[in-house]
Amino acid sequence: MKINALVAHDAAKPLSSSAITLRPLQQQDVKIEILYCGVCHSDLHMARNEWAVSRYPLVPGHEIVGRVVETGADVMNFKPGDVVGVGVMVDSCRQCHFCQQKEEQYCESGFVATYNGIDKYTGDSTWGGYAQNVVVDQHFVVSVPQALPLAGVAPLLCAGVTVWSPLRHFGVKAGDKVGVVGLGGLGHMAVKLASAMGAEVTLFTTSPAKGEDALRLGAKRVVVSRDAQQMASAQTSLDFIVDCVSAPHDLDPYLATLKTNGRLVLVGIPEQPHQSPNVTPLVNRRLSISGSSIGSIQETQEMLDFCGEHNITADIELIAGEEIETAFARMLKGDVKYRFVIDMQATHW
């Protein structure tokens, strides 16, 4: 079936509206009319081939919220009219250890990405959420709680679950002292989710101007990371840190803020490696450094249910599809609070 989408035709050209063909509905498939799609930094990197893996034409978008319009014969959990979400994955091998453990994001064969992946049925590219519709296997579709404002739900599907997964996996609980490094799309969700879990959140930022916002979002303390005195005052005060900054940076000052047995989790991937951290504090205080990649389908559903109970959505700026290049340009300057979301119904195709 042919639909309209915002298509990157090569790395240098702006996205433009073009027709693409979705795969015919399989028995396990759900066809979704897309209402909103968040604009993740990966979309920008992929549209412009900055990771040198893009295949064109390419339709970005993996923070999808929409309404079910059609279901295949074997779909039991969804029906037309349901409000649903799709995140970064649309398939995986389903058989390896990690798929069996419901950790599809670590599938040994590699999960099928929502866009620029290889569609199992067609052998063609998978097409992302900057589009009117998407067809996805039901296993990779999640339910969106009714009460939430849907545009703000979209960024939960990538940014939200990316910080939710390590918070849950490593057992962060009420009363824990949690640091969040960087107040962007990911960081602002980490502040909201960790504080809703009952943790006491410290936000590390390079820009003092973000302090007020961090407190509004739920942080108890703001530390300007360029201020040595402020960093010194935060020494050995935290149990856990989610580091959301992907630019290469020195991890040592953050490790210094962890208590014995503390853990620093990195969720951003730097283009150049971070400088190697000093091992001495790791040994002396039994510190851990971990990474974490997005989150499973089960975790995504749990996070959405949690957000429904706690009335949490992302802080967003809504745009029409034709404003995408302006949005990309502003993202490069860090000028967005805190995620752009495309309103498909406001988009002229």
Interior angle at CA 113, CA 110 and CA 117, nearest 5: 90
Residue 114 interacts with Zn ion (CB under 5 A): yes or no: no
- Kindly indicate which of the ranges 28-36, 102-110, 115-123, 231-239 contains the residues binding Zn ion, using the contact rule CB under 5 A: 102-110
What span, in angstroms and rounded, lies between the C-alpha atoms of 347 and 6? 10
How would you classify the pairing of strands 16-21 and 2-7? antiparallel
Minimum distance of Zn ion from residue 70's CB (angstroms): 26
Minimum distance of Zn ion from residue 21's CB (angstroms): 24
Backbone angles phi, psi at 260, to 5 degrees: -55, 140
What span, in angstroms and rounded, lies between the C-alpha atoms of 26 and 52? 31
Burial class (CB in 10 A: 0-12, 13-18, 19+), 322: middle
Give the helix/strand (H/E) hosting 21.
strand 16-21
- Kindly indicate which of the ranges 104-112, 127-135, 208-216, 236-244 contains the residues binding Zn ion, using the contact rule CB under 5 A: 104-112
Residue 92 interacts with Zn ion (CB under 5 A): yes or no: yes
Residue 116 interacts with Zn ion (CB under 5 A): yes or no: no
Minimum distance of Zn ion from residue 93's CB (angstroms): 3
Q: Are 264 and 288 in contact (CB under 8 A)?
A: yes
Q: Give me the count of residues in the chain.
A: 349
Nearer to Zn ion, 132 or 246 (CB): 246
Please give the size of the binding site for Zn ion, defined by CB under 5 A. 8
For residue 106, cis peptide bond before it (omega within 30 degrees of 0): no
Nearer to Zn ion, 136 or 158 (CB): 158
* Residues from 229 through 268 that contact Zn ion (CB under 5 A): none
Residue 107 interacts with Zn ion (CB under 5 A): yes or no: yes
The three-state (H, E, C) secondary structure of 103-143, written as one string: CHHHCCCCCEECCCCECCCCCCECCCCCECEEEEEHHHCEE
3-state secondary structure of 261: strand
What span, in angstroms and rounded, lies between the C-alpha atoms of 228 and 293? 31
- The count of C-alpha atoms lying within 13 angstroms of the C-alpha of 293, restricted to the half-sphere facing its C-beta, is 10
- Determine the residue type at 167: L
Nearer to Zn ion, 43 or 200 (CB): 43
Minimum distance of Zn ion from residue 108's CB (angstroms): 5
Minimum distance of Zn ion from residue 186's CB (angstroms): 9
- Kindly indicate which of the ranges 39-47, 129-137, 241-249, 254-262 contains the residues binding Zn ion, using the contact rule CB under 5 A: 39-47
Residue 59 interacts with Zn ion (CB under 5 A): yes or no: no
Residue 318 interacts with Zn ion (CB under 5 A): yes or no: no
Binding mask 125-164 for Zn ion (x = CB under 5 A): ---------------------------------x------
Residue 42 interacts with Zn ion (CB under 5 A): yes or no: yes
* Residues from 199 through 218 that contact Zn ion (CB under 5 A): none
Q: Of these, 15, 32, 37, 40, which contacts Zn ion (CB under 5 A)?
A: 40
Q: Of these, 11, 44, 93, 196, which contacts Zn ion (CB under 5 A)?
A: 93
What span, in angstroms and rounded, lies between the C-alpha atoms of 42 and 245? 14
Nearer to Zn ion, 31 or 62 (CB): 62
What span, in angstroms and rounded, lies between the C-alpha atoms of 16 and 123? 24
Minimum distance of Zn ion from residue 65's CB (angstroms): 14
Binding residues for Zn ion, rule: CB under 5 A, are: 40, 42, 92-93, 96, 99, 107, 158
